[in-house]
Amino acid sequence: MIDVKKLFAAAKAEGVAQFEARITSGSKLSVTTFNDEQENFTVADDGGIKIRGLADGKCGVFTSDRVDDEIIPEALAALKESAKYGNPLDPDFFIDGSAYKYEKVNNYHPELAAVPAERYIALAKEITEKARKKDKRMELVIAQVEYEYGAVVHVNNNGLNVKREMNMLTVFAQSKASDGAEVQSGMWYEFVSDLDAFDVDKFVSALVEYTVGQFGGSSVDSGKYKVVYSPDCVAALMTALGDGFSAFTAEQHMSLLEGKMGERVFSPLFTVEQKPIGDGPLCAPFDDEGVPCKNSVLIDKGVPTGYVYDLDTAKRAGVKSTGNGRLQGANVRPAVSCLTVKAGELSQAELFEKVGDGIYVTDLGGVGTGLNERSGDYSLQAAGYVIENGKLAKPVSLITVAGNIITDFADIIAVGNDSKFTYYGTTTPSVAIGSLSVSGVKQ
């Protein structure tokens, strides 16, 4: 590990007026089983350093995967060279570390770090074995158990010296099932902070039910339907909405929410918060500029409350940073984190009863290309189940759902209590939309 004091002394000697370093370290252990056999076992460590400093009033940067003392002369030379072509940067952006108070987050779990690799291997094998035994149609099951650790140290020559750590376990499984007439595939995942509390039987049941539950699926007639989106589907759509809160996006007149702050835009049942202070895997006490993070309400009962800022956009707007500076390549831009859609009071069964007749969408495909983050329009392949008389009926496939984030979230008629932390990094429950266009077999 690099000697930070030596790095800062060298920067001062080179005439770098303001200076900061962001040092990352991490490790990953991954186990994969293919049916009942171990297929892969990997252990990897990584890390890096990004330094930023002012030379003759301009900002220079240097990034490296190496984090040792030998890179110090090369790093400072590269920083000064890049500063020749860099932009002027306000010295205040190298924040005074003593001026802030940082809240505690709880997403490092020592007991998880102490779990031996053999237990992860056994868990992956147990998932594949139990899934195949639970239903003979499950021909193929691939399970992956991955432990991840990460740490960030952020220091500067104004007294900033903060550190954050996290670790988590991801349990993921893919499957293929065949009944002789058709083949279906499925997947399931869960983020785990306490392995002793992980219910492997519940996980396997969810995987098998999701996979074999698709047998016999067919399309529906095209038309307008009430739709219940599963938590994963809501999270997928939230990717477009989240970007709309960036003050930088707003400056470029590319925000989905431009001109809508403080107005009733969405359903009063729709409240969205960002919760970087907590115990979620992505929680953090400070952003990528060292500014403290804080929990806040972004949409209050359908009303967007305001944009999020980094130091740069905050200065231009005449406000304070909200602690949302995020590294994006070589730049820092404001971005929301740890989005949470406030859960309702209805169980999933009660949500279906509320809808009566409609479609429960469990899968959306082509989100990366079929969802426009600027307009909010989307047209996506979908699959799920028909809802009849308030209960799930036959599976449905080969359909396309089309709508708009703004108008659809304004048409929320009910919110479930089945909140889930998704692989989009967003925590969401299921939501019911009053009317949505669905393309099926008949126009």
d(CA 288, CA 310): 9
188: which strand partners?
A: 173
pLDDT at 442 > cutoff 70:
no
Per-residue pLDDT tens digits for 23-38: 999 999 999 999 988 8
**Res 439: pLDDT:** 95
Q: From CA 54, how far away is CA 20, in angstroms rounded?
A: 10
pLDDT tens digits, residue range 61-105?
999 999 999 999 999 999 999 999 888 888 989 999 888 999 999
Number of other CB atoms surrounding residue 375 within 10 Å: 12
Q: At 39, is the pLDDT very low, low, confident or very high (cuts 50, 70, 90)?
A: confident
Alpha carbon of 378 to those of 10, 227, 238, 381: distances in Å?
52, 15, 12, 10
d(CA 437, CA 408): 10
CA 277 to chain centre: 15
- Residue of 192, 216, 186 whose CA lies nearest to 204: 186
Residue with tokens 């499950």: 138
- Tokens 């020592």, residue? 110
**Average pLDDT, integer, range 371-381:** 93
Using DSSP's 3-state secondary structure scheme, residue 422 falls into coil
How many Å apart are CA 426 and CA 239, to the nearest integer?
Answer: 9
Phi, psi of 283, rounded to the nearest 5 degrees: -65, 150
For residue 7, report the phi and psi dihedrals to the nearest 5 degrees: -65, -45
pLDDT digits (tens, 9 = 90+) for 297-352: 999 999 999 999 999 999 999 999 999 999 887 688 999 999 999 999 999 999 99
Element (H, E) at 362: strand 358-365
CA angle 3, 51, 85 (to 5 degrees): 145
CA distance 42 to 121: 11
Phi, psi of 389 (to 5 degrees): 55, 40
153: its two tokens: 């140290």
**How many CB atoms are closer than 10 A to CB 152?**
17
The alpha carbon dihedral of 334, 338, 342, 343 has a sign of positive
Instruction: Please give the model's pTM, rounded to 2 decimal places.
Output: 0.93
Could you give the CA distance from residue 103 to residue 277 in angstroms, rounded to a whole number?
7
| Mean pLDDT, residues 401-407 taken together | 96
The answer to whether 16 and 76 are in contact (CB under 8 A) is yes
Could you give the CA distance from residue 165 to residue 218 in angstroms, rounded to a whole number?
A: 47
Share of the chain above pLDDT 90, in %: 90
Tokens of 118: 């053999």
CA angle (369, 372, 377) in 5-degree steps: 115
Please choose, from the candidates 35, 57, 433, 93, the residue with its C-alpha nearest in 3D space to the C-alpha of residue 288.
Answer: 93
Decide: 230 and 206 in contact? Cβ < 8 Å: no
Q: What is the pLDDT of residue 443?
A: 46
Work out the mean pLDDT of the chain and round it to a whole number.
94
Rounded distance between C-alpha atoms, residue 106 and residue 325, angstroms = 21
How far apart CA 355 and CA 301 sit, in angstroms, is: 21
Task: Please say if the pLDDT value at position 115 is more than 50.
Answer: yes
* pLDDT per residue as tens digits for the range 247-284: 999 999 999 999 999 999 999 999 999 999 999 999 99
Alpha helices (runs of H) in 47-135, residue ranges in sequence order: 72-83, 110-113, 117-134
Kind and range of the H or E run holding 189: strand 183-192
Report the Cα 54 to chain-centroid distance in Å: 33
Owner of token pair 């979230």: 409
Q: How far is CA 287 from CA 8, 269, 291, 311, 416, in A?
A: 21, 30, 6, 11, 31
